[in-house]
Amino acid sequence: MPKALNYAMQCLTAFTCVAVLTIVSAPVSSAAGSGIQKLKWHNEPRMVPDTPFQDGEGTTLTLSDFAGKVLVVNLWATWCAPCIREMPTLDSLQADLGGDTFHVIALSQDREGARVAEPFMAKNGWENLSLYVSDGTTFARAANIRGLPTTLIIGADGREVARLEGTSEWNDPEIKEALSALIVKAD
């Protein structure tokens, strides 16, 4: 390989590693910006997939099992550093708003399912989130997910009203206010 090409490839590799490390090590607040501004609200609510997933006990569920609730459906994985950084804010959101009319579904995309996700959640102390796992990438494909983390906001009518690709501070007062307005609208 010519020296100039070899040098260019080394520089590109070094630059890529620095860029990836910078993104992965950035705190959620600087990586995410204002969460409410990153949410992409749909002009018209969209249908959501009725693709099955499992809870921590292995019970098969679909989003329709949560009918009447406003949902924050977050697709994450134990190997996804940005996902891990935002999980405490989802845990806090569930603690603050969770109940009969609101629920956070943190849907693990780990290939080994509950076997790896459950101890990982326990180790990190996310005690307000329930365990949910997707069978392979079926749910992600059906929901047209392009990468992790991705979060869907589902209205009480079971339709997707907003989506956020990337991380957010889910316990941000503006996000909680917007979600609370959806909850009130559902009542």
Q: Tell me, what's the pLDDT at 135?
A: 79
Per-residue pLDDT of the chain (187 residues; tens, 9 = 90+): 455 444 444 433 333 333 333 233 333 433 445 678 999 999 999 999 999 999 999 999 999 999 999 999 999 999 999 999 999 999 999 999 999 999 999 999 999 999 999 999 999 999 999 999 997 889 999 999 999 999 999 999 999 999 999 999 999 999 999 999 999 987 7
Q: Which residue range(s) make up the domain with 6?
A: 1-27
H-run or E-run covering 22: helix 3-25
Q: Is there a single domain that holds both residue 40 and residue 65?
A: yes
If one counts the domains in the chain, the total is 2
H-run or E-run covering 13: helix 3-25
**pTM for the whole thing?**
0.82
Ramachandran sector of residue 136 (left: φ over 0; alpha: ψ -120 to 50; beta: rest): left
Q: Tell me, what's the pLDDT at 12?
A: 37
Q: Is there a single domain that holds both residue 52 and residue 119?
A: yes
Q: Is there a single domain that holds both residue 53 and residue 88?
A: yes
Residue 98 amino acid letter: G
Beta strands 53-55; 60-61: pairing state: antiparallel
Phi and psi at 163, nearest 5°, equal -150, 145
Task: Using alpha carbons, select from 111, 96, 146, 107 the residue that is nearest to residue 130.
Answer: 107
Q: Is there a single domain that holds both residue 119 and residue 46?
A: yes
H-run or E-run covering 44: strand 40-46
CATH number at residue 164: 3.40.30.10
Q: Is there a single domain that holds both residue 59 and residue 87?
A: yes
